């Protein structure tokens, strides 16, 4: 999971392939939510120590437009699926799609419904998700926090974090970095752990990878469909 809460709040910082816990005191929990989110988001870089140029070069070297990896998650034997892709659309268009929360079932195929319960601010919302996984055999319902952070003009992060629900983890991080005016480096980091004793952890890790790829393709397809069609000159 991305965070655990007891008397203190634990945020997990990624250091290469390891996760290092950082603790916030009870008093620090009273800090403005936006500040806490900014602190925690900065700890989740999709590929630590790698520049955007290096990641773009790695994708281009692969001969495709995306590549798939896994990420270890603290206190979970199920790994997150991570897909890094080059999508030929402006960052702003992709962020707009990712902030359209009620339409998330169009992006995440196992979601049956998505609803905004509360708008805390322009960059923070509380959502309700209903999902069915493993060919509809498992019904999941969760409340999530959706936050948007712009760490610099060329980079934005949309993060979903489970607040409550009948599963261990349903978290996602979408990182969008401008490569050019018409090209964006997109990282989809998905960790779904329904805590099912009868399903092997490896199967759930594969499920996260597959669905991270599906989300990436759905995001690109949605952006393609929104591309303006050229206006035909009918004056002649």
pLDDT given at position 50: 79
Q: What is the mean pLDDT of the chain?
A: 82
pLDDT in tens, 158-180: 999 999 999 999 999 999 999 99
Could you tell me if residue 1 is inside a domain? no
Q: What per-residue confidence (pLDDT) applies to 8?
A: 35
Q: Give the domain extent around 212.
A: 50-225
Taking the C-alpha atoms of residue 190 and residue 193, their distance in angstroms, rounded to an integer, is 10
Residue 71 forms part of a structural domain:
yes
Interatomic CA distance for residues 84 and 177, integer angstroms = 11
Helices and strands: H and E segment counts in the chain = 4, 11
Number of domains in the chain: 1
Predicted model pTM: 0.76
- Residue 96, domain member (yes or no): yes
Q: With respect to residue 127, please indicate whether it lies within any of the assigned structural domains.
A: yes
Q: What is the pLDDT of residues 32-83, one digit of tens each?
A: 444 333 333 333 444 455 799 999 999 988 889 999 999 999 999 999 999 9
In this structure, is residue 54 part of a structural domain? yes
Structure tokens at 57: 């070069």
Per-residue pLDDT, 62: 86
User: Does a structural domain hold residue 38?
Assistant: no
pLDDT of residue 227: 78
Give the CATH number for residue 185: 3.30.530.20
């Amino acid at each position: 999971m991305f965070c655990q809460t007891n008397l203190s709040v634990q945020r997990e910082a990624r250091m290469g392939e390891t996760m290092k816990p950082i603790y916030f005191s009870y008093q620090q929990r009273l800090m403005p939510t936006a500040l806490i989110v900014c602190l925690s988001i900065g700890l989740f870089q999709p590929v630590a120590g790698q520049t955007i140029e290096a990641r773009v070069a790695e994708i281009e070297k692969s001969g495709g437009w995306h590549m798939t990896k896994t990420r270890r998650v603290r206190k979970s034997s199920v790994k997150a699926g991570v897909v890094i892709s080059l999508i030929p659309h402006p960052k702003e268009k992709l962020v707009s799609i990712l902030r359209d929360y009620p339409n998330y079932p169009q992006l995440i195929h196992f979601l049956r419904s998505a609803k905004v319960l509360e708008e805390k601010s322009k960059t923070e919302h509380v959502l309700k998700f209903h999902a069915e996984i493993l060919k509809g055999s498992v019904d999941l319902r969760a409340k999530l926090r959706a936050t948007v952070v712009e760490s610099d003009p060329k980079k934005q992060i949309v993060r979903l974090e489970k607040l409550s629900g009948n599963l261990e983890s349903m978290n996602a991080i979408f990182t969008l970095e401008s490569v050019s005016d018409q090209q964006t480096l997109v990282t989809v980091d998905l960790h779904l752990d329904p805590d099912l004793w009868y399903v092997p952890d490896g199967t759930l890790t594969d499920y996260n990878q597959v669905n991270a790829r599906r989300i990436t393709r759905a995001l690109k397809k949605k952006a393609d469909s929104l591309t303006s069609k050229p206006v035909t000159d009918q004056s002649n």
